[in-house]
Amino acid sequence: MADLPELFITRMKKILGDEWDVFHREAGKTRQYGLRVNTLKIKTEEFERIAPFHLSKIPWIPNGYYYEKDDRPAGHPYYAAGLYYLQEPSAMTPASRLLVKPGDKVLDLCAAPGGKATQLAADLKGRGLMVANDINQARARALLRNMELMGVSNSFITNEPPHILADRFPGYFDKIMVDAPCSGEGMFRKNPAVMDSWMEKGPDYFSVLQREIIVYAADMLKPGGRMFYSTCTFAPEENEAVITYLLQERPDMELIPMEDYEGFSQGLLSFEGQTFHESCRLCRRIWPHRMAGEGHFLALLAKKDTGVPGDDLAGARRGRRVKTGKKERKSGNSPAEREGQEALKEFFRHVNNQMISDHLDIRGQKVYYVSDRTMDEKKIHFLRNGIYLGDLKKRRFEPSEPFALALAGNDYDMTIDLSSRDERVEKYLRGESIVIDEPRPAGHKGWYLLKTDGYPLGWGKLVGNTLKNKYPAGWRRTQSFRD
């Protein structure tokens, strides 16, 4: 590891005292590698049974595991099937402590690349709403890709600054995650290049952003709702000082205890003459020399229930009729449109997921599943509302990769299931057509859902014994898992 910045060393010695030496020794060791099982698709017990990796449990994360660097799980077909998300162990903690339940309206305000948002969505189990936002468009697109990979159906992916969202969603959300942009001191070992950024924009720069973000987030929380604030940095000005600022600016917010773990440390109550709010003792810190993780700051907050109802429908929508079922449109009258919709109906005869079938939205030639139509009325910039299902072409419907990954193995009745050890799976993920020798019902032709060990990977068009590859070019592998 490169030499640590002197300013960082000086501050950390003051915070850690006698523990500095052991912290410094730990910083020179190999980083921790972690993966989180996607419980939208597979139970942890089943994953433990089938995973070909050297796994050991992360003791404070129910669905988290350490793996060894040589395992290379990003190259395995199970990764392409969305069975797990690769995530630093400390970073798994915030989503596990927010305690999202099915039916909640949830916001991840600074969500890219999606580690926390995909876990919160898994906790929703397809019910409720998962709004995942990032202010940077390129990062928001990466966020969308990860939500699609994990098979999230009830997401609304936005690309707005916090003040715009706060204007559209006052008192709206049951749960909010704020994993704030920070100076990244907990990333020094994982990515030494972060130290260069730290020297350019350190804690003082980020603390200003964090104070603005956390207040806007609090304004979007329902009375009685919960919010989690976290960073991957050790600087008190980005952590306890930000919490203290929020509690001063928003007296209806309070820190509450979270599920604890023996390795967690309490938050600081003072540093270099600055006194923090007394309830910061309820904050928690993960130190890499005390636990097998890179480090994190954790704070669970609640909004006091004052008896004033939240804006659950955002005033502009009150009194307006909300459409349900298939969306009413004037399109579909031309011969080409009628042919495309007939092809769509034919395709959906093979789909066994009634929820998706009942919430189709056709926009031009593109077909979507929309779980919450009212979100379109918020007038904000978004990348996706629900799932992009595919395209209507002349006399045919072409299903999308996100559609495949949102299905369970038995949601489509024309499937081909290959072992993850079958070389044809790797060929498919590289974009090659593959030969199918396995028996199948007579007369079945057209779109098949390719699965590996029962879990969907993507679509192919079966012509004779050849499965024509429809795996998207941008998703394809360039290297074999076995290389």
Q: What is the mean pLDDT of the chain?
A: 91
> Considering only the top CATH level, what class is 414-483?
alpha beta
Total-model pTM: 0.92
Q: Quote helix, strand, coil % in the chain, to nearest 5.
A: 35, 25, 40
Burial class (CB in 10 A: 0-12, 13-18, 19+), 248: exposed
Instruction: Write down the domain spans for the chain.
Output: 414-483
Confirm if 157 and 124 have CB atoms less than 8 A apart: no
Residue 45's SS3 state is: helix
Cα(341)–Cα(361) distance, rounded to whole angstroms?
Answer: 11
Q: Is 392 exposed, middle or buried (0-12, 13-18, 19+ CB in 10 A)?
A: buried
Whole-number pLDDT of residue 343: 87
Print pLDDT tens along the chain (483 aa). Answer: 568 999 999 999 999 999 999 999 998 898 999 999 999 999 999 999 999 999 999 999 999 999 999 999 999 999 999 999 999 999 999 999 999 999 999 999 999 999 999 999 999 999 999 999 999 999 999 999 999 999 999 999 999 999 999 999 999 999 999 999 999 999 999 899 999 999 999 999 999 999 999 999 999 999 999 999 999 999 999 999 999 999 999 999 999 999 999 999 999 999 999 999 999 999 999 999 999 999 999 999 999 987 654 444 333 332 322 233 334 444 456 666 777 788 899 999 999 998 888 889 998 899 999 988 888 778 899 999 999 999 998 888 999 999 999 999 999 999 999 999 999 999 999 999 999 998 776 667 789 999 999 999 999 999 989 999 999 999 998 766 655
What are residue 363's DSSP bridge partners?
366
Cα-flanking dihedrals φ and ψ of residue 234, to 5°?
A: -105, -10
Task: Write out the DSSP string of 136-197.
Answer: SHHHHHHHHHHHHHTT--SEEEE---HHHHHHH-TT-EEEEEEE-----GGGTTT-TTHHHH
Q: Is the peptide bond before 113 cis (omega within 30 degrees of 0)?
A: yes
Residues marked active site are found at: 232
- Alpha carbon of residue 335 to chain centroid: 41
The helix-helix angle for 115-124 and 137-149 (nearest 10°) equals 40
Question: What CA–CA distance (Å, rounded) separates 165 from 109?
Answer: 9
Query: For residue range 300-316, what is the model confidence (pLDDT) as tens digits?
Result: 999 998 765 444 433 33
d(CA 51, CA 64): 13
What's the distance, CA 479 to chain centroid? 25
Tens of pLDDT, residue by residue over 111-125, are 999 999 999 999 999
Quick one: which of 347, 283, 330 has its CA closest to 97? 283
Residues 35 and 259: their CA atoms lie apart, in Å, by: 21
* Distance separating the N- and C-terminal Cα atoms of the chain: 28
Element of type H or E holding 347: helix 335-348
CA atoms within 13 A of residue 15's CA, in its CB half-sphere: 22
- At 443 the pLDDT is 61
